[in-house]
Amino acid sequence: MQIENTETTPLSNAEYPFNLIAAIIGQAKRPIPEPFTSDHWAGLKYVLSLLDEREQGILMQRYHDQQPRSVIASAYGITSERVRQIEVKACRKLQRIPNWNYIAYGVAGYLRKVAAGEYSKGFTAGYRAGYQDGQKDAALGVQRAYGSDEVLNQPIESLNLSVRACNCLVAAKCKRIGDVVRLSAEEISTMRQLGKVSANEIARAIKRHGIEHTAWEKYLQ
């Protein structure tokens, strides 16, 4: 389904999120994931979080609230045509790989798929990557975080952080919980705009997930 240009054309009769997924698919001829599980929901929420605030807001009002573009335009102080352009651009971002894969397979499902693909590339490549990671961690004096792969592979949105704390992690190129807990004390101390409050919030969120022995523990109060 392409996103229509006319103001009066109704959206897909499907309810959210299927109307949004249909718009994301566009002419790509990709099947809508069925059944749509909680893991697919997590994948959709994750890729939506990658959009900027205005793109997220417009998609939510357009597809979740099913507001006409004229109403959305008034709320943002822009034209209906500009709303349409932002809508189309946001959907194209979500259609790209790997963003679409998080929607199609879910977070855990996609990570399993990636893991299977990496394994098929051979033991040598995996050993080399692991060895290099080990060398880097040893050089930085990083303590390995302990937690299940299921937890470590979850997107950072699973930590339920404030927007400010989440933005700090995104700026540090953290996408999964595993990326967060593997940060060294030096990397944490040099994170942009990370204050004591946000650091404490992240540390407590990590602890709630049962993860210990990380450089974040010093920020617990």
Taken in order of first residue, the domains within the chain and their CATH numbers are 18-110 (1.10.10), 131-219 (1.10.150.20)
Q: What is the pLDDT of residue 13?
A: 56
What is the predicted pLDDT for the residue at 1? Answer: 35
Asked if residues 208 and 214 have their Cβ atoms less than 8 Å apart, the reply is: no
pLDDT at 125 over 80: no
pLDDT at 50 over 90: yes
- pLDDT value of position 117: 78
Average pLDDT taken over every residue of the chain: 83
pLDDT(131) > 80? no
Yes or no: say if 72 and 58 are a contact pair by the CB < 8 Å rule: yes
Q: Which of 179, 166, 181 is nearest to 213 (CA)?
A: 181
pLDDT-derived band at 29 (thresholds 50, 70, 90) equals confident
Tell me the mean pLDDT in the region 175-193.
Answer: 90
Burial classification of residue 12, based on how many CB atoms lie within 10 Å of its CB (0-12 exposed, 13-18 middle, 19 or more buried): middle
| For residue 6, pLDDT beyond 50 | no
Query: Mean of the pLDDT values across residues 15-20?
Result: 92
Residue 114 banded pLDDT, cuts 50, 70, 90 = confident
- For 134-139, what is the mean pLDDT? 54
Average pLDDT over residues 38-65: 95
Q: From its phi and psi, is residue 180 left (phi > 0), alpha (psi between -120 and 50) or beta? A: alpha
Tokens of 153: 């592979």
Farthest-apart Cα atoms in the chain, separation: 61
Distance CA(34)–CA(100), nearest Å, equals 14
Question: Which of 186-219 are b and which e, b meaning 16 or more Cβ less than 10 Å from the residue's Cβ?
Answer: eebeebeebeeebbebbbebbeebebeebbbeeb
Task: Label residue 27 by pLDDT band (50, 70, 90).
Answer: low
Task: Give the type of residue at 68.
Answer: P
**CA–CA dist 18, 36 (Å, integer):** 9
Q: Say if residue 179's pLDDT is above 80.
A: yes
The rounded distance, in Å, linking the Cα atoms of 14 and 24 is 14
Percent with pLDDT over 90 in the chain: 51
Structure tokens that stand for 69 in this block: 């573009």
Res 65 pLDDT > 80: yes
**Predicted pLDDT of residue 88:** 95
CA distance 122 to 143: 28
Is the predicted pLDDT of residue 5 greater than 50, yes or no?
Answer: no
